[in-house]
Amino acid sequence: MVKKVLKFGGTSVGTIDRIQHIANIIKKEQLNGNKVIAVVSAMAGKTNELVKMSNEISEEFNKRELDVLLSSGEQVTCALLSGALIKLKINAQSWLNWQIPILTEGDHTNARIVNMNVEKINKFLDSNGVAIIPGFQGISKNGEITTLGRGGSDATAVAIAKIFNADTCEIYTDVDGVFSTDPNKIPVAKKIEKISYDEMLELSSLGAKVMQSSAVQTAMMYDIPLEVRSTFTDRKGTKIFSQENIDYTKSVTGVAYSKDDAKITITGVEDKPGVAANIFEPLSKAQINVDMVIQNISSDQKTTDITFTVKRDEISKTKKILKENSKINYKQIIQNEKVAKVSIVGAGMVSTPGVTYRMFRALSDEGINILAISTSEIKLSVIIDEEKTLSAIKKLHTIFDLD
Ligand code: ASP
Ligand code: MG
């Protein structure tokens, strides 16, 4: 017998038909002799709708009340799913955050789960019951309702898998799993069978958003194996675990891209110690996340150009801070928002020589100019002209044997 946490996302509980469908998935698991804890999201779009309603009252809607409001979406799906299972003659019961309780720490709308009472639910599982738990929420030590940040049902599923010592944690969603690149753009994209936590994090922060990143980080920290799979097919999903469990036959696992970066070049800055620090210190104090940085070699030993990237929606803030910075002298600030970041990600890269040069050669064969580069152990990213994104992804996907 296996103890399973099954998490169902918003689209999987988006209609009554779908709730009945997942009730059948759960029933099958239970008839196979497994103990099931189901974690549910709110119906797709529900949380957004609630946020919108609160905004109509005030853009600065009280955070405590916002948590009470937002947590209601999952309360609805919990009860509907439990009722659907009971109709199928399964012994099911829903629990709300305070009934368990799911204890959280941290601010309203951004709390994290620290503990949970397991006794009642374990007893119920032992009596052949299916427990249904709302994702995305908990209760603070003062008894206040809290939520875990958007997409937080994944965090609930991972926390439950850990605290209940489950054997598996399956994330049911509306895609088949994690793909080697965006399947909507590149039809030859392939579903990845196994992927490490680190690779998953790199791929998801770069666009393949299948799971909340912080939930993947928690799973990594406690070594909780995950599986992402589709609610709507029987196909196998993508298994996510630690790198040691994976044999890398390929150097690159996936090609990701994002179009929310912008490039800024400051020309004619003095080439002397302390200048870079003077440029970036105020940006970091303003919480602006600088991604790639390049400094050209100065040809006259006096001045140089510094190029860096920030998120596109932070570009005006960034420019304002640069212009108000009295510690730096420069000629000009040039911005380019029509850029894209394309990355190859793979834990197999470490042990394969020549990946870097193959990426650069492939891009040059396509006539693509590289505007900035950054590397880490399992990722190599370049900034290129936005218009060339698709041809870059296609080419890289092919030359690294992913088609
Ligand atoms: N319903 C919440 C949201 O939309 C939590 C989740 O779906 O994971 O953010
Ligand atoms: Mg979700």
Q: Which tokens hold the place of 249? A: 């036959």
> Shortest CA distance to 136 belongs to which of 66, 83, 224, 208?
66
What total of structural domains would you count in the chain?
A: 1
Mutate to test the pocket of ligand 1, among 47, 148, 173 (most ligand atoms within 8 A of CB): 47
Ligand 1: nearest atom to the Cα of 153: 8
How close is the Cα of 136 to the center of ligand 1, in Å? 6
CATH code at 68?
3.40.1160.10
Query: Is residue 95 in a domain?
Result: yes
Query: Is residue 224 in a domain?
Result: no
19 phi and psi angles, rounded to 5 deg: -65, -40
Residue whose Cα lies nearest atom 8 of ligand 1: it is 151
Ligand 1 pocket residue status of 231, Cβ below 6 Å: no
Mutate to test the pocket of ligand 1, among 136, 148, 171, 218 (most ligand atoms within 8 A of CB): 136
Provide the terminal-to-terminal Cα distance of the chain, rounded to the nearest Å: 38
310 phi and psi angles, rounded to 5 deg: -135, 170
Residue 74 CA: which ligand is closest? 1
Query: Is residue 124 in a domain?
Result: yes
Ligand 1: nearest atom to the Cα of 156: 8
Ligand 1: nearest atom to the Cα of 48: 4
pTM of the model: 0.87
How close is the Cα of 204 to the center of ligand 2, in Å? 14
How many residues can be counted in the chain? 403
Ligand 1 pocket residue status of 71, Cβ below 6 Å: no
pLDDT at 153: 98
Query: Is residue 46 in a domain?
Result: yes
Three-state DSSP class for 303? strand
Query: Is residue 30 in a domain?
Result: yes
pLDDT average per 10 residues of sequence, the chain (403 residues):
96 98 98 97 98 97 98 98 98 98 97 97 97 98 97 97 97 92 88 93 72 93 95 94 83 91 94 92 94 82 91 95 94 95 92 91 96 90 95 96 93
- DSSP, res 100: T
pLDDT at 367: 96
Query: Is residue 107 in a domain?
Result: yes
Residue 161 to residue 106: CA distance in whole angstroms? 21
Q: What is the span of the domain harbouring residue 132?
A: 3-174
pLDDT at 208: 58
Query: 124 vs 127, 174, 220, CA distance in Å?
Result: 5, 30, 29
Query: Is residue 12 in a domain?
Result: yes
Query: Is residue 362 in a domain?
Result: no
